[in-house]
Structure 1
Amino acid sequence: MTIPSFENLRLYILKHLANGGTWRKAQLVEPIAAHFDLNAEDIAQEYESGNGAILADRISWALSYLTLSGLLTRPKRGHYIITDLGKEYAQKNEIEITAYVKQKMAEREQAQKLDGKETDAVIEEVNITPKEQLEFSFNAIRQEVYREILETILSKTPQAFEKLVIDLLQKMGYGGRLEKSAQVTRQSRDGGIDGEIREDVLGLGRIFIQAKRYQTDAVIGRPDVQGFVGALQGQNADKGIFITTARYSADAVRYVQNLSSTRVVLIDGLQLAEYIYRYDVGMQTEQIFSIKKLDSDFWDEMPDDANKPIK
C-alpha cells in the first residue's frame, strides 16, 4: 500500500486520540498501519537518502502541526493528548482540518513576524513534511547530476568509457584487494568482451564485461545481449556484466532472467549514473547539510516540571 501523506494522517490521529488517554508517537504506528492496511515493509520503508523511516516522519509532523494548531497538547515531551477543540475537529473531514491547520500556521507565522522573531517557513503545500521537501529537492538535484554524468560520458571516447566502467566496478568491491585485478581487453582481440575482473589470485573466478556507449534514448535488444552471452561461452565463463548508457528492451531483460548456466547482470544508463554517484567515481561533495534531533536518553534523564506542560 501507499504510505499516506501526513495530511491524510491527521484525521485518523484525532479520531484515535479522541478515545482518551496520553499517546506517544511509537504507540500510533501500529494502529495507523492497521487502519491504512500497511505491512511491515511499508512501515520500515525509508527515504532514499536514508534519513529515517517515512511513516514515522509523517506521524511526527502530523502530531507537530496538530499541536501547533491547538488540536493536541503535549503534557511533556513526546506525549500527546487531544484538546476539546481537537475532539470537535475529529468529527470534521480532512479538507476542514487542512484548512484550519493552514490558517493557524499562517497566523502563527504572522504573530512571530510582528514580534520581530525569526520564524519557520510555513509550508504552502501542507500535504508533505519539511523533511520530504528536502528529499524532493535532494532528488531533483541528484537527477540533474545523473543527466550530467551521462552527457559527460557520451562526450568521451569509447576507450575512456571502458576504463570508467572498470574503475567503477572496482570501487563497488569487485576484484577485492587483488593487484591489477581488472583490465580493459585489447580492442583487436576482445571478441565482444571489453574488460575482465579477476575475483581471486589464481584467476579461477572471472567476471567479463561489455560496455556500450550509446545515446541515452537508444534501446539495446535481445540480439546484442545474446551476442554477449555467446562471447562469454567462448571464454568458458559463466558470469558477465553488460553496462550501457542506453536502455534495455523488455525482451532482453527476460532473456537474461531465463538464463540457466550463465549469470548476466544488465546495468542501464540510469543505474550506471546512480552507481557512479553513490561510489564517488569522478564526483566530489559540494555541500553537506546536518539535520539534528533531540537525544531522547539525554533529555529523558532530566526531571519534568509537572506544572509547566510543553506548548
Structure 2
Amino acid sequence: MIPTFQQIRAQVLRALNVGGVMRAKDLRTPLAKHFNLTNDELNTKYDSGNGEIFLDRISWALSYLFMAKLADKPRRGDYTISQKGKELVVSCTDEEINKYINDTVSKPRKTSGETDKVIGATIMTSNNELTPQEGLYESYENIKKSIQADILATILSKKPQAFERIVVELLQIMGYGGEIKDAGFVTKLSNDGGIDGIIKEDVLGFNHISIQAKRYAANNHVGRNEVQAFVGAVAGTPSKKGVFITTSDFTKGAIDYVESLNGTPTVILINGEQLTKYLYECGLGLQEERVFKVMKLDRDFWDAMDDE
C-alpha cells in the first residue's frame, strides 16, 4: 500500500538527515524500499494520468518540510535538512514530527457558504493523509456526489412528464439530433406505443432514437419485462435504436437480456447514477457556483533560466 502523506513527511525528513542535498526523485527509491512498495505501487499514477502518486506525495512532503522550516532549499528543486529539522529527527517520533508540521503549517481557516464548508471540512479531516491537491480533488468529488444526490431527489419530486422532457433535453445537449431544429420531443401520453420520447437524427426523420423514461424510486428496479416491451417497440422503428433511462436501476435479468440482443435492435440502458453524472457534466438545470484555477510551475520556462 502506498504510504499516506503523513507517513512520508517524517521519513523524508529522516532521509534528508543522512542524504545531504536531495531532490524528490532521489528520495523515490530509498523511500520505496523503506515502505516495501511493489513496482506496481511505485509506478501507480493518478486516474487523471497526471503523474505518479508516490513521487507526487514526496514532492508535497518536501514542500511542507520547507514551509515548516525543517528543510532548506539551497537552489530550486534541491532540499537539505535545516538545523531545526536535525533537532526534531534526534528528539522526536514520527508522530511528534507530524504534529509539529501540522501546528506550524496547517492553519484551519474560517469558511462561508455551503461549498466552502464542504471543502474546509474535507481538507481538515484529510490533511494528515492526503496532499493538498488530493484533498482538493476529494472535496470536488464529495461536492459532486452531494449535488448528484440532490438532482435525483429533485427529479423524483416532479411529475413523470417533467422527467420525460428532461431526458429528451439531456440527450440533445449531449449531441444527439445534431443541428436539427426541434430534433427531440415527448410523445403524447395517450398514444406513445411504449415510447416516451423521440430524437430525430436527420431532417426528414427517417432515422431516430426512441426513448423510454421511468421515474422510479431507488428500490424499484426496472425488470426484464419492461425492458423487453420497450425493445419490441424499438424493433418496429426504422432505425431500431433506443435508450431506456430510469432514476433507479435495472435488474440483472434486464441487463442480461439487453446484452443478449447483440445490437439487434440497439438499446442502451442508463440508470439513476449514470443519469445524474450526465446531468452534472452537461450542467442541465445547474448553475456554476465557483471556478477554482490551480496553477503549477512551468518547468520548461524556469529550466531555461540560468541557476546561480
TM-score, structure 2 normalization: 0.74
Q: 1:123 to 1:142 in 2, by over 3 A?
A: closer
Runs (5+) with no aligned partner, structure 2: 108-122
Superposed CA deviations along residues 243-287 of structure 1, whole A, max 9, x for unmatched, are 111122233223323321333222111221121111011111112
1:274 aligns with 2:308: no
- Counterpart mapping for 1:103-182 below 5 A: 103-107=100-104, 125-182=127-184
Aligned in 2, Cα 1:236/1:202: closer, same or farther, shift over 3 Å? closer
- What is the TM-score when the length of structure 1 is the normalising length? 0.74
Counterpart position of 2:74: 75
State the distance in 2 between where 1:201 and 1:292 align: 45
Tell me how large the CA RMSD over aligned residues is.
3.9
Distance 1:187 1:29 in 2: 64
Kept in 2, the 8 Å contact 1:46–1:54? The answer is no
TM-superposed CA distance for 1:144, in Å, is: 2.2
Matched residue count: 287
Letter in 1 for 2:279: I
SS in 1 for 2:40: coil
- Name the stretch that deviates more: 199-208 or 153-162: 199-208
2:114: which partner in 1? none
Distance 1:296 1:96 in 2: 35
**How far did 1:215 drift?**
1.4
The residue type equivalent to 1:102 in the other structure is K
Query: Contact between 1:123 and 1:130, CA under 8 Å: does it hold in 2?
Result: no
Decide whether the 8 Å contact of 2:64 with 2:105 is kept in 1: no
User: For the structure 1 residues 104 and 164, does the alpha-carbon distance in structure 2 shift closer, same or farther, using more than 3 Å as the test?
Assistant: closer
Which region of structure 1 is more displaced relative to structure 2, 273-282 or 223-232? 223-232
Q: Does 1:290 align with 2:287?
A: no
Measured after TM superposition, the shift of residue 208 of structure 1 is 1.4
More displaced 10-residue stretch of structure 1: 269-278 or 12-21: 12-21
1:81-107 per-residue CA deviation (whole Å, 9 max, x = no partner) reads 56799899999xxx9434412224424
Please give the residue correspondences for 1:57-72 in structure 2 after superposition, counting only pairs within 5 Å.
57-68=56-67
- Match of 1:265? 268
In structure 2, C-alpha distance between the alignment counterparts of 1:297 and 1:123, rounded to whole Å: 34
| Aligned twin of 2:242 | 240
Judged with a 3 Å threshold, the aligned counterparts in structure 2 of structure 1 residues 45 and 16 are, in CA distance, closer, same or farther, namely farther
Q: Between the two proteins, what is the percent identity of the paired residues?
A: 42
Report the secondary structure of 2:130's partner residue: coil
In structure 2, relative to structure 1, the CA distance for the partners of 1:85 and 1:221 (3 Å cut) is farther
Residue 47 (structure 2) aligned to one of 28, 45, 48 = 45
Stretches of structure 1 that go unaligned for 5 or more consecutive residues are 111-121, 306-311
Cα deviations by residue, 1:111-137 (Å, 9 ceiling, x for unpaired): xxxxxxxxxxx9664112222332333
Higher relative contact order by CA 8 Å / sep ≥ 6: 1 or 2?
1
Instruction: Give the partner amino acid of 2:94.
Output: I
Cα distance, 1:199–1:44 mapped onto 2, change above 3 Å: farther
